[in-house]
């Protein structure tokens, strides 16, 4: 029976060797996967597809091996790794997804998102998102030397951590009307997303919202096997 896996929010960086190794062991256990959906914030930061870091190289090598086992790979960008592009994904044959993808999962029309767009109460973040998704901003950023981009990414990360620590808990979660609006607009009854680090299956008046978990001491994945969907937590 075909198997699809959905993961997000690994936040890989040079500071997360255990999570990175946990991912590689996870893939060793999951050799018979038909589709692997990477739904954003796989990387804690992304400074451009020309990044010559050891992490970018190791990740590409492992994903290429997974692809050679017959797993189709799909990558949706998160709010951290929003600069990941076709050039990097081509190194391991992954398909770049846009911010929303509708497809049938376990027999139900389903919408896949990273989840940041659902946090509509976070006005500051949405303004920031608009800025960094601007083509001109991105072109200018990617034209800077790698060392400068690395420095800027580091600064952005500290700013974002500080902002998050000052925000009310409920602002950081999804807005319920935003969720229902998305489901209605896309004509689906199920939403799968990450981003909020609150793994859970929520029953909705018109279906279900499944939230993927972030990887820390444990990892999370959603598994589709036929019409079965299971949200799984495992030791890395």
Does the footprint of Mn ion cover residue 195 (CB under 5 A)? yes
Q: Does residue 41 touch Mn ion according to CB under 5 A?
A: yes
Question: Which of 78, 106, 110 shows the shortest CA–CA distance to 196?
Answer: 78
What letter does residue 95 receive in the DSSP assignment? Answer: E
Asked if residues 4 and 224 have their Cβ atoms less than 8 Å apart, the reply is yes
Q: How far is the CB of 152 from Mn ion (least distance, A)?
A: 19
Among 48, 78, 213, 219, binds Mn ion (CB under 5 A): 78
Q: Which two tokens stand for residue 72?
A: 């189709």
Q: Footprint of Mn ion on residues 150-169 (CB under 5 A)? A: none
Q: Minimum distance between the CB of residue 157 and Mn ion, rounded to whole angstroms? A: 12
Applying CB under 5 A, does 79 fall inside the site for Mn ion? yes
Q: Tokens for 86, please give them.
A: 């076709």
Residues 60, 213: contact at Cβ < 8 Å? Answer: no
Q: How far is the CB of 63 from Mn ion (least distance, A)?
A: 20
8 binds Mn ion (CB under 5 A): no
From the CB of 47, what's the least distance to Mn ion, in Å?
Answer: 17
182 binds Mn ion (CB under 5 A): no
Nearest CA among 76, 59, 66, 1 for reference residue 29: 66
Say if CB 120 and CB 129 are below 8 A apart.
no
- Contact range with Mn ion by CB under 5 A, out of 95-103, 125-133, 142-150, 190-198: 190-198
Interacting residues toward Mn ion by CB under 5 A: 41, 78-79, 195
């Amino acid at each position: 029976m075909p198997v699809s896996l959905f993961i997000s929010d690994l936040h890989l960086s040079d500071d997360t060797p255990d999570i990175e190794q946990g991912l590689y062991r996870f893939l060793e256990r999951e050799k018979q996967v038909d589709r692997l959906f990477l739904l954003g914030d796989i990387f804690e930061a992304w400074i451009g597809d020309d990044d010559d870091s050891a992490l970018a190289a190791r990740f590409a090598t492992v994903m290429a091996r997974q692809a050679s086992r017959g797993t189709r790979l799909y990558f949706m960008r998160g709010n951290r790794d929003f600069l990941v592009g076709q050039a990097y994904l081509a190194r391991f044959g992954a398909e770049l997804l846009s911010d929303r993808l509708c497809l049938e999962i376990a027999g139900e029309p389903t919408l896949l998102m990273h989840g940041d767009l659902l946090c509509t109460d976070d006005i500051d973040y949405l303004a920031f998102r608009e800025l960094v998704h601007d083509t001109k901003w991105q072109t200018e950023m990617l034209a800077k030397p790698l060392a400068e981009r690395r420095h800027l990414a580091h600064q952005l990360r500290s700013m974002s951590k500080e902002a998050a620590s000052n925000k009310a808990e409920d602002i950081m979660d999804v807005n319920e009307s935003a969720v229902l609006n998305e489901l209605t607009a896309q004509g689906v009854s199920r939403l799968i997303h990450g981003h909020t680090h609150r793994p859970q299956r929520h029953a909705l008046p018109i279906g279900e919202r499944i939230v993927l978990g972030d990887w820390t001491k444990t990892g999370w994945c959603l598994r589709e096997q036929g019409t079965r969907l299971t949200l799984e937590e495992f030791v890395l």
